[in-house]
Structure 1
Amino acid sequence: MKKYDLAIIGAGPSGYAAAMRAVDFRKKTLLVEKQTLGGAGITNGALSSKTWWELSRDMLAFRRNLSRYGMQSPATIWKEIQQEVNLAVKERIHLLQHHLDCLRDSPTYSQYLDYQTGTAEIVDENTIKITNDEETDVVHAEYIVIASGSRPRTLPHLPIDEEHILSSDTIEHMTDFPKSLVIVGAGVVGCEYATIFSGFGQTKVFLIDKGDSILPFEDADVVAVIEKNLEEQGVHIHRNSTLTKMEIVNGKVMYELALSDGRTETFEVEKALVSVGRVPNYEKIWSDAVPIKMNLRGIEDHDTNTSIKNIFAIGDITADINLVNVGELEGRYAVEKIFSHPTKKLVYENISTIMFLNPEVAGVGLNEKMAKEKGYNYKAVTVDYTTIPRAIAKRNTQGFIKLLVTNDDEMKVLGMRVVGEQASSAIQAVALLISMNKGIEELAECVHPHPSITEGIQESVRALLGKSILKSGLLNNKVNCYCYDCERGEIESF
């Protein structure tokens, strides 16, 4: 029986990151993956869907500018787009595999990492059985990390056949653009696919939202921009609608909605995408002899520790945030807890996120909804993209920056949202301030490149400090500062 210091079940983003951190500590590590190296972070997930989004955005920009060149809109060829996405996926998988091969052949690292393909089961606290088509292997591990990921959630009344009614695992495997598509679920993934398919301009998209607005966790001003653009691209948003029936009839998808006024309506589309969240892959990962505690969302963990002292859980298998960067963070942190002492506590307050919509939305920390729920008194500033020279030069001034700070002399950063072109590039400096529990003074005098979107962040900070170039409240509130009092529930401009 082979013996390892650490065995990791799952080679997605979190498991792969954990394995590489264990190599740093020169620990004998086994990484096991039953499907594809890189997991859903690459295939049918983050990388693939974002490649679709990039290509869709290019097509949308091209179609919007056709009049400049006296051209008619060309047809997008599904197979060509699909081939480009598949190429991106293969490139990333090849990179990771080549990296593993280099480690295996390296005189420095070869003794520290083994990679195995197969299905792993934790037999007891230190024993793992690995099964593949050819053989079964049993290994001993002092520590175990579970990083088995997640899969799309299904609903019992929806007949997902992965041909007509699809999940996010198969939506990208269609053979052509559907003429019409209904998306069940108006969260991030549902809105991203609505953005993708409407951007290509060959699919009539319907989006079912049980509330009165999409993205219910986001602030109203953010949602308003996204909804406006989706509808301008022809997306029909079924607001305040409950899906009561969905079935496949004569090769089409029929669905029935119960509306808030008591009426029901029936629609017919070519395809449906069910996007109602994800569930953890924990089935058959461990035997009954291993009493790992579970809750409704996944493995019950505390800073990656499970109820078994030498078994850890990271990534989508836990109840934390299901993001690639969070999974990687947890993977590295778990290994540091096992073999060392982390210099910093695992925190989620400074996690940067990006929603691939039209326009893109980047965020870190709290938005206004969250700040109010937590009872913060805060100051906020919004700076419109029309005031940012780089946005003007790009001929794309839709969007804004919103920065929240504590309403005191320290003005510590609570959070930021950026809606607009290059939003993701503007977020990291503020994320660093949040992680350092710092105020905003450092950003005020930082010299940003010109022209750049990040100059808008500098102007936001200067506005909060009362020394902006463009003064708050003028220019139809394109720069606007205000404060919120949680006791009175009032907003006041300053």
Structure 2
Amino acid sequence: MKEYDLIVIGSGPAGYSSAMRALDYGLNICIVEGAHLGGAGIMNGALTSKTMYELSMDYAVAARTDRGYRSGSLSVDFSKVIKTVVHAAKEKQYQMLSQIETFSSEKSKKGSLTLERGWAKFLDPYTVSVENDNEKKQIKGKHFIIATGAKPRQAPGLEIDHERIINSDDILNLEKFPERMLIIGSGIIGCEFATIFSNFKQTEVHLLDRANRVLPYEDDDVSDFVAKNLEDNGVMVHHTAHLRTIKKHPNHLEVILDYDAGHSKVIEVDVALVAIGRVPNTDNLGLENIGIETTERGTISISDECVLKDGDNHCHIYAAGDITGHTQLYSVAEFQGRLTAEKIAATPTYLLDYSNMSTLMFFKPELASVGMNEKQLRAKNIPHKVAYYSNQLVNRAIAMRNTNGFVKIIVSDDDQPKILGMRAAGPQASAYIVSVAHLINQGNSLQEVLKIFYPHPSVSEGIQECLRTLSGKSIFKPEAFPDLINFKEWQPDKQ
């Protein structure tokens, strides 16, 4: 029976990054993966959905007729789109596999990587079985990292048949663009797929929004912006609607929606996509064999250093990524994975700060966020000031003929205002959000931040002018452009 310094269960962003960081310390590592190398971070997840998004955005730009040119015979082939998406995923998988082979036990003298294909199950605190279609074996480890990620959440009372009622894992298995699609769930995943399919203009898209607005956790102006753009892109958003039932017919699905106002509506679609979040992958891990119990949400509780909270007697077992119940972001999983390896190697580490995470939402236009929003600050009775600055006033956006977007920045309301959060939409929002994340982490005052020179013409000048608006120094004034620039203050005792 082979024994390794570290066994990593799962090869997604948490698992793979932890294995590579452990390699830096000369450990002999075994990565166990039962499905796709790279997990949902590569296949049926972040990379594939974003590749499809980029292709849809390219198509949408090519279809525009307001830029002085027109495409002669624009068409799209769904099978070729999917082929391109899968090729992108495999490109990354082979990069990962090439590195594993480079540091294989046969070649590497200090530290090694071994990939075992199969499903891992704990037999005891130091032994797992690995089973695939061809064989079943046992391996031992001195340390373990559970990084099995998450899977699409099931809708109560709705059976996924993976053909007409599908989840995000089934997108790549579709044979053609659905003529009509219902997307159940108006969070990030649902809105992203609504954007993708509406961009291609081949599908009538219905989006089921149980709340009064999409992205209900965001501030109202942000969620209203997203909803309006979806509707302008052709998506039919059903606000305050609840799914009663889906009846299957030979050639279509009959969907009955009940609205909060009391009326109902029946619509006909070809495919229903369930996009109501993801749940941790803990099935058949054998956690009962090591005395680990999951939470009510199915997650594994960890300490700040990613050690299992239930594992007082098993301090050699760690967990990282979506399975821990923290925000389901690629970057969070990756950081947690790296931290576990550093903890195993007994090197100095820093505790992860989850308060100012950057998030990208691939809509039309893309939306980026970092830090707190108004709803969160008001819930905590934190005084703050808010400025909203439209991209319609930003020279680079005007030159790009792409002014649909904004910068919204929130700062503390005190003598030395500090940035508390930002939301930005429009071209390149995903690129410059990290600069504001850095400013938040540094704790720089608004006065210090305003000393920075911004290149011209750049989309990031919208940040500069938004910050100037907060201090009453903007070049364009709210009084002249009340629809494009907005400033407001909030105090708990004045509401």
Q: Output the TM-score relative to the length of structure 1.
A: 0.94
CA change 1:439–1:2 in 2 (3 A) is farther
Query: Which residue in the other structure is 2:261 paired with?
Result: 261
Q: Which of residues 427, 436, 452 is equivalent to 1:430?
A: 436
The amino acid of 2:275's aligned partner reads S
The amino acid of 1:419's aligned partner reads A
Residue correspondence of structure 1 range 16-55 to structure 2 within 5 A: 16-55=16-55
Query: Which residue in the other structure is 1:174 paired with?
Result: 174
The alignment covers a number of residue pairs equal to 489
Partner secondary structure for residue 254 of structure 1: strand
2:311 matched to 1:310?
no
CA distance in 2, matches of 1:174, 1:19: 34
Partner secondary structure for residue 439 of structure 2: helix
> Higher mean Cα deviation, 34-43 or 217-226?
217-226
CA change 1:438–1:25 in 2 (3 A) is farther
Partner secondary structure for residue 487 of structure 1: helix
Conserved? CA contact 2:59–2:199, under 8 Å: yes
Partner secondary structure for residue 64 of structure 1: coil
CA distance in 2, matches of 1:245, 1:462: 51
The Cα of 1:5 is off from its aligned counterpart by 2.1
CA change 1:114–1:406 in 2 (3 A) is same
Q: What per-residue deviation string (whole Å, max 9, x for no partner) do you get for residues 277-332 of structure 1?
A: 11111011125221113112211222222111221111111111111111101111
CA distance in 2, matches of 1:152, 1:407: 41
CA distance in 1, matches of 2:70, 2:464: 40
Residue correspondence of structure 1 range 352-391 to structure 2 within 5 A: 352-391=358-397
CA distance in 1, matches of 2:477, 2:67: 37
Q: What per-residue deviation string (whole Å, max 9, x for no partner) do you get for residues 14-71 of structure 1?
A: 1000001111122222211111110111111000011111111111122122784355
Query: Which residue in the other structure is 1:492 paired with?
Result: none
The Cα of 1:477 is off from its aligned counterpart by 5.2
Conserved? CA contact 2:122–2:128, under 8 Å: yes
Partner secondary structure for residue 69 of structure 1: coil
CA distance in 1, matches of 2:332, 2:91: 23
Partner secondary structure for residue 227 of structure 1: helix
CA change 1:78–1:476 in 2 (3 A) is same
The amino acid of 1:8's aligned partner reads V
Query: Which residue in the other structure is 2:209 paired with?
Result: 209
Q: Output the TM-score relative to the length of structure 2.
A: 0.94
CA distance in 2, matches of 1:355, 1:102: 35
Q: What per-residue deviation string (whole Å, max 9, x for no partner) do you get for residues 443-479 of structure 1?
A: 3222222211111112222332343333344322533
2:227 matched to 1:227?
yes
Conserved? CA contact 2:26–2:110, under 8 Å: no
The amino acid of 1:99's aligned partner reads Q
Partner secondary structure for residue 246 of structure 2: strand
Q: What per-residue deviation string (whole Å, max 9, x for no partner) do you get for residues 73-125 of structure 1?
A: 63321112111111111111111111212222896666332221111111122
Aligned structure 1 segments of 4 or more residues deviating by more than 4 angstroms:
70-73, 105-110
Q: Which of residues 448, 468, 473 is equivalent to 2:454?
A: 448
2:468 matched to 1:462?
yes
The amino acid of 1:482's aligned partner reads K
Residue correspondence of structure 1 range 216-295 to structure 2 within 5 A: 216-295=216-295
Partner secondary structure for residue 170 of structure 1: helix
Conserved? CA contact 1:281–1:317, under 8 Å: yes
Query: Which residue in the other structure is 1:12 paired with?
Result: 12
Query: Which residue in the other structure is 1:186 paired with?
Result: 186
Query: Which residue in the other structure is 1:300 paired with?
Result: 301
Conserved? CA contact 2:63–2:71, under 8 Å: no
Conserved? CA contact 1:418–1:426, under 8 Å: no
2:419 matched to 1:407?
no
Conserved? CA contact 2:5–2:143, under 8 Å: yes
Partner secondary structure for residue 182 of structure 2: strand
Conserved? CA contact 1:333–1:342, under 8 Å: no
CA distance in 1, matches of 2:232, 2:283: 43
2:397 matched to 1:416?
no
Q: Unmatched 5+ residue regions in structure 2?
A: none
CA distance in 2, matches of 1:290, 1:158: 34
Partner secondary structure for residue 186 of structure 1: coil
CA distance in 2, matches of 1:341, 1:468: 47
2:486 matched to 1:480?
yes
CA change 1:326–1:317 in 2 (3 A) is same
Conserved? CA contact 1:349–1:434, under 8 Å: no
The amino acid of 2:438's aligned partner reads L
Residue correspondence of structure 1 range 316-335 to structure 2 within 5 A: 316-335=322-341
Partner secondary structure for residue 299 of structure 1: coil
The Cα of 1:338 is off from its aligned counterpart by 2.4
Residue correspondence of structure 1 range 65-144 to structure 2 within 5 A: 65=65, 68-69=68-69, 71=71, 74-104=74-104, 111-144=111-144
Conserved? CA contact 1:222–1:419, under 8 Å: no
The amino acid of 1:390's aligned partner reads R
